Structure 1
Amino acid sequence: MSITATNEFFPTQYWHVLDDGRVQCDVCPRFCKLHESQQGLCFVRGCHDGRIVLTSYGRSSGFCIDPIEKKPLNHFLPGTPVLSFGTAGCNLACKFCQNWDMSKSREMDTLADEASPLKLARVAHELGCRSMAYTYNDPVIFMEYAIDVATACREYGIKSVAVTAGYICDEPRRDFFKYMDAANVDLKAFTEDFYWKICGGHLQPVLDTLVYLKRETNVWFEITTLLIPGENDSDAELEALTQWVMENLGPDVPIHFTAFHPDWKMLNHSPTPPSTLSRARRIAMKNGIRYAYTGNVHDEKGDSTYCHQCGQKLIGRDWYTLGVWNLTADGHCNTCGTPCAGIFEAQPGLWGARRRPVRLRQYAD
């Protein structure tokens, strides 16, 4: 793929020139090595005038107000609205991608609206959103844009949420997450074979991101694993995954086991049975994880949050609608006083399950 003359070129920081004259992008472990006018696999970073530039800065699509639980984040400002958006492209090549129309887009007209960081922050504020989510495709590939939006959002007291696969190198990882308040990280499987053959990437950089978030930041994060029948849903793999989480991240990091549905290049696979998700949840809890959830299926028990000490239902959920709320103003169990890990307020938000598309062009610059 080549960069066309009509694209705008936003300067970036993480790259270097190789001895053979090519320029290497150093944002993610793909380390794309590019000749002049070539684009990386992510499609939005490319070589122009001997440097790596971002071609999607200020241009995005998919604007929608969602419940924060849809990211999914169950322990971060429950019940509140989040303004979500993404761009084109992705730095992984997952054959099961469920946002492939955006993440695998090679058409710049997918980037439907011009959206400056200041405008995005102002619109989110006008619409009453508590946070901004960088999602649909991976924000690490448009990190300069996401960072500027996050900076603008802080002026309005709006939090920033990264929905990411965590496939990023150490130095840009530190720079990117410095501006994030919460994240949901896709841990797509727990074998190198799955990552390489199905995602075109590697497992270790994702594990490094998770450990970094836990040990070196105050970012609230949760994990999502999409379970694909016959690919990453065996008892042995689920045991290994959840034991690694316990040993390296501790018992309080929530994990969401979500159902696969056939999409993009994996249309020949069967959907995930609900029983698989319940089995994964049981394995996680057996291994000490306090907050394990099921997703993409209707499972009120698997959606809800329980006190790990006394078993009291703390937050009842029916899909994305909150019901029971048994947390104190400071996030403790109303029954036994045990703290629930997360970022909570005295009362939950009232957004509910609504999904409200937003046409950014209707708002003044």
Structure 2
Amino acid sequence: MNGELIDRVVPTRYWHALDDGRVQCDLCPRFCRIKEGQRGMCFVRACQGGEIVLTTYGRSSGFCIDPIEKKPLNHFLPGTPVLSFGTAGCNLTCKFCQNWDMSKSREMDTLADAAEPETIALAAASLGCRSVAYTYNDPVIFHEYAIDVAAACRERGIKSVAVTAGYICPEPRVEFFKWMDAANVDLKGFTEEFYHKLCSGHLQPVLDTLEYLVRETRVWVELTTLLIPGENDSDAELESMIQWVVEHLGPDVPMHFTAFHPDYKMLEYPSTPLSTLTRARAIAIKNGVRYAYTGNVHDEDGESTYCYGCGQKLIGRNRYRLSDWNLTADGRCNRCGTVCAGVFEPMPGRWGDRRRPVRLRDFVA
């Protein structure tokens, strides 16, 4: 029943049996090999009855209405509210995780709310949300649940947003992103050493996902990099990353450079100064990125969108609240006519910077 927590597992597709009695999960590049009764690194995919199942279908760590800019997405339906939710677990082990209480949780009690896909779609529509975001932890690990929610949302005209690290194998990647309308992908750093040391992962699968999204889908993509002092914030690494983005993804993909604050297993590190973010943004613009932003700080200049043709401020932002709006109905600069890349409606939303928790037990599909 909607709103009541129940134990529920669903079968999955991306796995194969091994000769030694174990099964291998083929959803992400971790390729966990597990025995009967064991869980993968992500915690939510387990071996039961000789197959991989998803153990958290229909269960969430909670639902909340956010501004879409908080994902962060600055070029996808600006100013509109998005119904956000996640589950437990993650397939990376980032030592700097800012949502570690959910993404690193291995306790089912973290999953404090429940809803069927149709109920989430109904709630989003009833609450005036233009989209639903799969966030807080990486939605690729609850692949089946996210897809079912996205399908239900699509039937009601509600868009789907994936906030993800992009750590997923090619075949499930195609199925997953077929149902997504926008994605903010964490490009956590630009060296294999960074991914190995701080995330227990690899860089190349993330780059592969990014190229797939931009070249082979119609998903709107924005990138976020959390800049950690002394780890991934050098001029050399930023130059390499930004040049790769422009060459392989193009100049229209927005890049968000956001501030780290001490958390989880990196409490000894200092917070990222604003000067680091503005330096990264300047390097991006110098290398041809048309839309570069600062985040997790108060920086109206770094939060706002500018026309790369004439320099006019197209969308003014003060944290998550919009001010200036100088786009035409078809998404062009109203001064020079240059197209602003993105997914825009004739007028912006007016949700502002509100954050509203929601209990889905109030909605019945």
Task: Tell whether the structures are fold-level matches, with TM greater than 0.5.
Answer: yes
Q: State the match for 2:98 in structure 1.
A: 98
What does 1:8-23 align with in structure 2 at a 5 Å threshold?
A: 8-23=8-23
The letter for the 2-side match of 1:217 is T
Query: SS of the counterpart of 2:47?
Result: strand
For 1:304 and 1:158, locate their aligned partners in 2 and report how far apart those are by CA, in whole Å: 26
Q: State the match for 1:291 in structure 2.
A: 291
- Residue 181 (structure 2) pairs with residue 186 (structure 1): no
For 1:90 and 1:149, locate their aligned partners in 2 and report how far apart those are by CA, in whole Å: 19
- Residue 170 (structure 2) pairs with residue 203 (structure 1): no
Q: State the match for 2:320 in structure 1.
A: 320
Q: State the match for 1:247 in structure 2.
A: 247
CA apart distance, 1:249? 0.3
CA apart distance, 1:265? 0.2
For 1:242 and 1:364, locate their aligned partners in 2 and report how far apart those are by CA, in whole Å: 46
The letter for the 2-side match of 1:226 is L
| TM-score, normalization by structure 1 | 0.98
For 2:290 and 2:364, locate their aligned partners in 1 and report how far apart those are by CA, in whole Å: 46
Q: State the match for 1:270 in structure 2.
A: 270
Deviations 1:86-114 (A, max 9, x none): 00000000000010000011111111112
Q: Is the 8 A contact 2:122 2:363 kept in 1?
A: no
Q: State the match for 1:145 in structure 2.
A: 145
Query: SS of the counterpart of 1:83?
Result: strand
For 2:273 and 2:117, locate their aligned partners in 1 and report how far apart those are by CA, in whole Å: 41
CA apart distance, 1:8? 2.3
For 1:231 and 1:62, locate their aligned partners in 2 and report how far apart those are by CA, in whole Å: 32
Query: Higher relative CO (CA 8 A, sep ≥ 6), structure 1 or 2?
Result: 2
CA apart distance, 1:364? 3.4
Q: State the match for 1:129 in structure 2.
A: 129
Q: Is the 8 A contact 2:76 2:344 kept in 1?
A: yes
Query: SS of the counterpart of 2:62?
Result: strand
For 2:250 and 2:129, locate their aligned partners in 1 and report how far apart those are by CA, in whole Å: 31
The letter for the 2-side match of 1:335 is R
Query: SS of the counterpart of 1:151?
Result: helix
For 1:35 and 1:143, locate their aligned partners in 2 and report how far apart those are by CA, in whole Å: 21
CA apart distance, 1:132? 0.1
Deviations 1:111-144 (A, max 9, x none): 1112100101001111010000000000000010
For 2:30 and 2:226, locate their aligned partners in 1 and report how far apart those are by CA, in whole Å: 23
For 1:114 and 1:97, locate their aligned partners in 2 and report how far apart those are by CA, in whole Å: 24
CA apart distance, 1:7? 4.0
CA apart distance, 1:179? 0.2
Alignment gaps of 5+ in structure 1: 1-5
- Residue 156 (structure 2) pairs with residue 156 (structure 1): yes
- Residue 175 (structure 2) pairs with residue 175 (structure 1): yes
CA apart distance, 1:151? 0.3
CA apart distance, 1:19? 1.3
For 2:154 and 2:246, locate their aligned partners in 1 and report how far apart those are by CA, in whole Å: 33
CA apart distance, 1:280? 0.1
CA apart distance, 1:155? 1.3
CA apart distance, 1:362? 2.9
The letter for the 1-side match of 2:273 is P
Q: State the match for 2:235 in structure 1.
A: 235
- Residue 306 (structure 2) pairs with residue 306 (structure 1): yes
CA apart distance, 1:363? 2.8
Query: SS of the counterpart of 1:350?
Result: coil
For 2:62 and 2:270, locate their aligned partners in 1 and report how far apart those are by CA, in whole Å: 28
For 2:59 and 2:251, locate their aligned partners in 1 and report how far apart those are by CA, in whole Å: 39
For 2:353 and 2:208, locate their aligned partners in 1 and report how far apart those are by CA, in whole Å: 33
The letter for the 2-side match of 1:12 is T
| TM-score, normalization by structure 2 | 0.98
CA apart distance, 1:355? 0.5
Query: SS of the counterpart of 1:105?
Result: coil
Q: Is the 8 A contact 2:62 2:113 kept in 1?
A: no
Q: State the match for 1:3 in structure 2.
A: none
Q: State the match for 2:261 in structure 1.
A: 261
For 1:61 and 1:129, locate their aligned partners in 2 and report how far apart those are by CA, in whole Å: 19
CA apart distance, 1:224? 0.1
For 1:318 and 1:167, locate their aligned partners in 2 and report how far apart those are by CA, in whole Å: 32
Deviations 1:266-320 (A, max 9, x none): 0000000000000000000000000000000000000000000100100000000
The letter for the 2-side match of 1:74 is N
Q: State the match for 2:36 in structure 1.
A: 36
Query: SS of the counterpart of 1:354?
Result: coil
Query: SS of the counterpart of 1:90?
Result: coil
Instruction: After superposing the two structures, state which structure 1 stretch, 244-253 or 353-362, moved more.
Output: 353-362
CA apart distance, 1:62? 2.5
Deviations 1:143-165 (A, max 9, x none): 10000000000111000000000
Deviations 1:169-201 (A, max 9, x none): 000000000000000000000000000010000
Query: SS of the counterpart of 1:276?
Result: helix
Query: SS of the counterpart of 2:61?
Result: strand
Q: State the match for 1:66 in structure 2.
A: 66
Query: SS of the counterpart of 1:185?
Result: strand
The letter for the 1-side match of 2:30 is R
Query: SS of the counterpart of 1:132?
Result: strand
- Residue 340 (structure 2) pairs with residue 340 (structure 1): yes
